[in-house]
Amino acid sequence: MGKLTREQEVYKRWANARKPRPPLVRNLIAAFLVGGLICTIGQFVLNYFLSLGMDTKEAGGPTAAVMIFLGALLTGLGIYDRIGKFAGAGSVIPITGFANSIVAPALEFKREGYVMGVGARMFNIAGPVLVYGMATSWLVGLVYWLIHK
């Protein structure tokens, strides 16, 4: 990106100052409520697996899998995008949103075929999460190893 001229800077500042802001309080409340609700459902699923005799560590994976299934199903049914319009980060940040970010492009690019469409595009949005999440935990692990071993 080239440097902006003075005229561009002035216009950009003027236009930005006038543009409508998102309704922050409403959005925060919606995100809090929906995000909280999804996590409560997650807690319910977690408690179910705990009641089967799993320990907390073991139950984490199955809980994630169930929540991913729910997010993916609601995406397939065309409901998750409507939840997202209402809840914003409340439905993006939970793992159900991660599932939504995988299924949405997979559905969308189905018409470009199963290999270069579904297969290649599935991780369009979730890919960066895996790439940077895995790289970060690898780095954290490296530091941990250097310190402790």
Partner 1 sequence: MDYLLAFLVGGTICALGQLLMDLTPLTPAHVLVLFVCTGAILSGLGIYEAIVEFGGAGATIPLPGFGHTLTSGVIQEIEARGFWGIFSGVLENASVGVVAAVVVGLFISLIFNPKG
Partner 2 sequence: MAEKRVGRNTIIFSQCPSFVATATTVGKKEGEGPLAKYFDQVIQDPLYGESTWEKAESKMLLEAVQKVLQKANYTFDQIHFMFSGDLLNQLTASSFAAREIPVPFYGLFGACSTFTEGLALGGMAVDGGFAQRVLVGASSHYQTAERQFRYPTELGVQKPPTAQRTVTAAGVVILEQGGPGPYLTAATIGRVIDMGINDPMDMGSAMAPAAVHTIVQHFQDTGRKPDYYDVIVTGDLASVGKNLAEDLLKKEGYDVTDRYTDCGILIYKPDADTQAGGSGCGCSAAVFCSYFYPLLQEGKYQRILLVSTGALMSPTSYQQGETIPAIAHAVAVERDYPDGVG
Q: Of these, 48, 54, 68, 86, which contacts partner 1 (CB under 8 A)?
A: 68
Q: Interface with partner 2 by CB under 8 A: which residues?
A: 1-2, 4-5, 7-9, 11-12, 15-16, 18-23, 27, 75, 78, 80-85, 87-88, 91-92, 97, 100-101, 103-105, 107-109, 111, 124-125
Q: Which long-range contacts does 62-70 make (Cβ < 8 Å, 24+ apart)? A: 64/95, 67/38, 67/41, 67/42, 67/94, 67/95, 67/96, 67/99, 68/95, 68/96, 68/98, 68/99, 69/99, 70/41, 70/96, 70/99
83 near partner 1, rule: CB under 8 A: no
10 vs 62: CA distance, rounded Å: 54
3 near partner 1, rule: CB under 8 A: no
Query: Which residue lies nearer to partner 2 by CB, 66 or 74?
Result: 74
26 binds, among partner 1, partner 2, none (CB under 5 to 8 A by kind): none
